[in-house]
Structure 1
Amino acid sequence: MVKETPFETGSSTGRPKQASGEEKHEPFLFDIKRHPVTEDTKFTSPRIMRLLTWWCGFHGEMPRRDQFDIIDFIDLAPYICLVEALDPECRKFRFRVKGEILVEIVGPTDTDLIFGLPGTGYDSEEHAALAHYFNDVLTSRQPWRCHGVALRFGVTRVALETIDLPLADDIGQPRYSLGLMDIVGRPE
């Protein structure tokens, strides 16, 4: 059961408003399932398949951050996010880039916002779950898929699919997660 929050539409930014008139900026994600990508994983989004094909083109090696050139994927820029681990243990993170489609779904995120695993001091309940996920992506050194339901602009239910791909730093350690979130239809 999805917990509904009362709000009014009509914001000039496209964001929903609460009954108080204040714009809502919290995530609108429901029933999100997360798992590592395997040979049996099926994707709906051709955008995700394009990015995954690029990543797999390194033949089992984790690509470095500097090997990803957004110019080669400029049409995907609105769907892309880049998250950076701020410590070698991948316990604290920060969003470096967040495309417009992600902002429409999960709201704006200050790139100075640091979030982390429990015990890091940056571990609100909401952000600790996100940190756990990115920790899994980076420490596993393999792609992860999420799928579920979102409210686009806080009002329209859409099915979404994401991929998060670990990228290495200059010395080959996992440090970045390159993600892509795509809307793949209406939920069933």
Structure 2
Amino acid sequence: MVRERADQRREAGQRTRDRLLSAAQELLAQRGQEGVTLREVTDHAEANVSAVSYHFGSMKALCDAAIEQALEQYLDAQIAAVAALDAAAGVEELAAAFARPMMHALAAGGRELAVIRTVARVGIDPPEGWDRLTGKFQQSRRDIVRVLSASLPAVEEQELVFRIRCAAGLLNWLALAPIGAELAAEPPERTARRLVPVLAGALRGLSDAG
């Protein structure tokens, strides 16, 4: 009986922690770190103010954890999409895989779009602790370079990395700009038809377009 109650408390605590992370991500997506208050997060999560200190230690630690979780979810989805490409995948297929987490979030809305917008904000203004996910960033970039270099063997790796960073910046901007909301209102197939060629062009580069 005592163990059962302890398990129930742990489960309730985990649910509260998850709600706090979700609330922080949604508010961070809307306003960035400087615009989010402790009271707003706890009200949104239907939790006590003391829950933030109990589960995370501070409001800053909660925001850091929410950002890290969002980044990790995004990178995992991107890594999986690129890993699923076959050896003969071209630049268009790579661009589609690269953008898949973004396009999925635009179509899904809600929490998933909030996660992507959080990723976009920190991509533009990296927080402290960014290096916690250095390994996953490197893996994602390495996998993308590997696929891209097979299609563009004459382009140096440094140039490929620059193009990948530009394409990532474009996606970050898209998540936050009004055009992102316009795309979210369109059918996913139309979003893909419009977005993938633009990203493919960025990855391919003007010097290789001919």
Superposition TM-score, scaled by structure 2 size: 0.28
| Structure (1 or 2) with the greater strand fraction | 1
**Larger relative helix fraction:** 2
Greater C-alpha Rg: 2
